[in-house]
Amino acid sequence: MFTQPPYGLRTEKISAAAFTAEPRSANLYAYLYRVRPSYGQGTYEPYKHEYEWANPPEPNSFSPNSYIWPTFTLEKGDWTVQHLLGSSGKPLNKTGTSIWLFHPDKDMPLQTAFSSVDGDALIVPQSGALNIQTESGKFLVRQNEIPVIPRGVRYRVVLVRGKPVQGFISELNPKLKSNIKPKLNSKLNLTKEIA
């Protein structure tokens, strides 16, 4: 049962492990009780202390302040016109992630579909709405809604009322270790976790 923490504190759950572990049951979490939430921070300033000579010099100045991405000027087209913002790892090795920008201003042509063979696509619309038609069915995605399209699923994107949309795609390339052995002509236990 949900209870409020005493003294008006706010509860925040954070990861207590350096990396996400496999299986998921091995992940660690910590609950922090804060007077103010972490997102309500002020501006940070560098701190100079008397032992500054003991620290190695930094090649650049880094800031923990919050920033907003600038507005990107993107080429317009249909859903297939996406722009790579950044990536890590190697999709061929099924490691890392990629961040893509999208800004379609027209529907994908009829009888065409898009598919990512590298990884799962987490789609984050910033403005507008998308009508995504997958092999499994159709769904409407608006601002503040985040769909995940699994690797290999074919889909077509249609704009809602023809209005342009803009946002990000996080393409995750996980290397899965399957503990399900393939069997011919038998039903798989789909409730079994793949880790």
Give backbone dihedrals phi and psi of 15, rounded to 5 degrees, phi first. -75, 135
Q: Show the domain range for 90.
A: 82-172
State pLDDT tens for residues 6-34: 888 888 776 665 555 567 677 777 777 87
* Residues shown for the chain: 195
Give backbone dihedrals phi and psi of 139, rounded to 5 degrees, phi first. -150, 150
Distance CA 176, CA 179 (A): 9
Q: Looking at the domain assignment, is residue 150 inside a domain? A: yes
CATH code for position 155:
2.60.120.10
70: Cα within 13 Å, side-chain hemisphere: 3
Distance CA 80, CA 74 (A): 13
Give backbone dihedrals phi and psi of 56, rounded to 5 degrees, phi first. -65, 145
Q: Looking at the domain assignment, is residue 193 inside a domain? A: no
Give the total number of structural domains in the chain.
1
Place of tokens 């990512």: 116
Distance CA 22, CA 115 (A): 27
> Is residue 119 within 8 Å of 157, Cβ to Cβ?
no
Q: What pTM was computed for the model?
A: 0.56
> Is residue 125 within 8 Å of 167, Cβ to Cβ?
yes
Q: Looking at the domain assignment, is residue 70 inside a domain? A: no
26: Cα within 13 Å, side-chain hemisphere: 7
Q: Looking at the domain assignment, is residue 119 inside a domain? A: yes
One digit per residue, the tens of pLDDT, for the chain of length 195 reads: 557 788 888 887 766 655 555 676 777 777 778 787 766 666 656 556 555 444 445 556 667 777 776 777 778 888 888 888 888 877 667 778 888 889 999 999 888 888 887 778 899 999 999 999 987 789 999 998 999 888 778 899 999 998 989 999 998 876 655 554 544 444 444 444 444
Q: Looking at the domain assignment, is residue 4 inside a domain? A: no
Q: Looking at the domain assignment, is residue 165 inside a domain? A: yes
Q: Looking at the domain assignment, is residue 134 inside a domain? A: yes
Q: Give the pLDDT confidence score for residue 124 in this predicted structure.
A: 94
Q: Looking at the domain assignment, is residue 164 inside a domain? A: yes
